[in-house]
Chain A
Amino acid sequence: MTYVVIDACIKCKYQDCIEVCPVDCFYEGENMVVINTEECIDCGVCEPECPVEAIKPDTIPDAEKWVALNQKYAKIWPNIAEKGDPPADADDWADTPDKLAQLSENPAQQKNPAQQ
């Protein structure tokens, strides 16, 4: 089992999950973070931290598509181990359902390349 990030994260990217992950298994895109499902140890600490309930166990009904999405982008986006600032308009998107069309495939801007 693993946990995955679903589309509720898109354009919100609050990053409360980043602070608590014991294995730093989050990867950061321009407007979403994902979990590397091979690194996730299934501890579940991140799940209640997310203000928009974007983190789910892979036992939810349509888990397969979210596992695939998380695996795909975890391979191409940079690792994130420290929380950054959420987008300025994050709160405006918090209640918007079905945000998949808003997903940017771009990796996050590197804040401090030396850390990589």
Chain B
Amino acid sequence: MSVVAAQNETDFPIPAGVFAQTVTSVHHYTDRLFKFRITRPASLRFRSGEFMMIGLPNAEKPVYRAYSVASPSWDDELEFYSIKVPDGPLTEHLQKIKVGDTVLLRKKPTGTLVNDALLPGKRLWMFSTGTGIAPFASLIRDPETYEKFEEVILTFTCREVGELTYGQELVAAIKEDPLVGELAQGLKLYCTTTREDYPFMGRITDLMASGKVFDDLGVAPISPGTDRGMICGSMEMLRDTKTALEGFGLTEGSNSRPDTFVVERAFVD
């Protein structure tokens, strides 16, 4: 087996202009979801919430896909949270990676879900579905998020209960973390499911329209004077959540023009 692996590595040289990093851990949550961590290139600088292009050294011209970095900018490793797409050009191979394998990273991190793209505010809402939680996994581990916002609320909606595990374990670990634990004591995680029975159910847009999410959390409805939003999820969820935030009077911003909410369009599910 090791001979075959070694041949695969040498069949396709590392392309110019990319980082070749080593897998340090892999954790499978369900048959559709897994997390992996890789070594961090010494020269890489990125802002919490940004994404990078990931590939595998398994072809002359590797297939790259956009992945949000799920670890914060201070971490000495990089974490990613991925779906497994049957016959997906990258994920059908990526889901088989093991500790010690090589993962390719293009060198330019970028993205709109960054604190820099939001105007100052009191309360930060992060809206996610599925693997769209990844950029927020980075941001809620970054002390800067708590320096900029008094309150941080992460909403996380999945079809089934087992798909919530990554977010639930992450937030529990953050509260115990020596670096950000104290800052993050007020961090709220609001999990809902849309298919399997769970104490909180429904799409976040419906729960905002009915006001249930605000009642459940004991917070005032969203207002442009105090609230800021970040959105990452499926195409339909992005569209509907953007419409909901605009309904509350918020306006979409970007790196060059910070405003009251931002959207990540790179998400693919």
User: Which residues of A are interface residues toward B (Cβ below 8 A)?
Assistant: 16, 19-24, 41, 43-45, 47-49, 51
Contact = CB atoms under 8 A, between A and B. Distances in A.
A31 B52 CA distance: 30
A23 B62 CA distance: 14
Contacts of A47: 265
A19 to B, nearest CB: 7
Contact of B66 (A16, A43, A48, A49): A43
A49 B52 contact: no
A44 B66 CA distance: 11
Given A16-B255, A48-B252, A51-B257, A22 B265 contact: no
Contact of A44 (B64, B65, B265): B265
B110 A20 contact: yes
A41 B110 contact: no
20 contacts: A16-B254, A19-B255, A20-B255, A21-B108, A22-B51, A22-B109, A23-B53, A23-B108, A41-B53, A41-B266, A43-B51, A43-B265, A44-B265, A44-B266, A45-B112, A47-B265, A48-B254, A48-B263, A49-B254, A49-B256
Given A16-B255, A20-B110, A22-B110, A45 B263 contact: no
Contacts of B255: 16, 19-20, 49
B254 A22 contact: no
A49 B112 CA distance: 9
Q: Give the size range of B's interface with the partner.
A: 20 to 34
A43 B266 contact: yes
Contact of A22 (B53, B252, B262): B53
Q: Which of A16, A21, A43, A47 has the most CB of B within 10 A?
A: A43
Interface in B53-81: 53, 64-66
A45 B110 contact: yes
Given A22-B51, A22-B53, A43-B66, A16 B110 contact: no
B203 interface: no
Contacts of B93: none
